[in-house]
Amino acid sequence: MSEKLFCDVFEEPFPHLIAYNFYNDKELELIWEELKFYTKPGKFFTPREFGGVPDMTTHGAIQLDGVYRDDSNIQNGLNYRPISNILTVNRKVFNSGVLDEFAKIHESCWIAPLCDHDITKVRYYHDGESYDAHADKSFQFLAFSYFYREPKKFTGGELFFPRQNYELTCENNSTIIFPGWVKHGVKEVKIEDSAYYDGWGRYAITSFFTNTIKTVSTHGFRE
Ligand SMILES: [Fe+2]
């Protein structure tokens, strides 16, 4: 049975889409299974290690593509991605039709469904953690999905956009899609009476997507 997804689309202050209850119960169970697995000592990396900007944030994260590599294109190589529930279910960003809806918001977004390369990071923000505003300028588009245990114990953690003086609350199981040129940050998360590994913080599964360069010649780029 096909599944109905509910989205809000906005052209201003920049093109963006918010999909609510993005993952179904079965997918959520798979996601939480993996989030709980990572929420233990020694699993989340520091910003310097996961490719974040060390001076701008302290939260822990894992770049899943680096752990579960697809080596099927090399001799005797295997594709390890199916081992990750998250890398498997988050294909929904690319095959559920939300990118087609996003593409209609503004002419500058039409190319989003054609992107052929993405990376996925799992992030965890606990008490006192934030991300200063920055632009992920190497990527054409970004899709951020949010998860937290209910009843919600933390405050803050909003996604903010300083150039537009705009912010979004990041509802549980919602996905926000917007262009890579939009400067964004995460407001400080505050939690009282919660140990880091109890898992009451703010989780995000973030997808960065763009196009691979197939061939580069000395005269420029070729398709
Ligand atoms: Fe970012």
Helix (H, G, I), strand (E, B) or coil at 52: coil
Find, among 88, 120, 108, 101, the residue nearest to 180 by Cα.
108
Using the structure block, give the residue that is written with the tokens 């933390």.
154
Contact 17, 7 (CB under 8 A): yes
Distance 222 CA to ligand 1 centre (A): 29
Distance 136 CA to ligand 1 centre (A): 5
pTM of this structure: 0.94
Q: Which two structure tokens, joined as six digits, stand for 216?
A: 């580069």
Distance 131 CA to ligand 1 centre (A): 8
Number of other CB atoms surrounding residue 86 within 10 Å: 22
Q: How far is CA 154 from the centre of its chain?
A: 20
Domain ranges of the chain: 8-210
pLDDT digits (tens, 9 = 90+) for 171-198: 999 999 999 999 999 999 999 999 999 9
d(CA 7, CA 202): 22
pLDDT digits (tens, 9 = 90+) for 44-69: 999 999 988 889 999 999 999 999 99
Question: What are 216's strand-pairing partners?
Answer: 221
Confidence band of 89 (pLDDT split at 50, 70, 90): very high
- CATH architecture type of domain 8-210: Sandwich (2.60)
Number of other CB atoms surrounding residue 146 within 10 Å: 22
Distance 197 CA to ligand 1 centre (A): 23
* Protein residues placing their CB within 5 Å of the ion ligand 1: 136
Distance 185 CA to ligand 1 centre (A): 7
Number of other CB atoms surrounding residue 75 within 10 Å: 5
Helix (H, G, I), strand (E, B) or coil at 10: strand
Helix (H, G, I), strand (E, B) or coil at 202: strand
Contact 68, 81 (CB under 8 A): yes
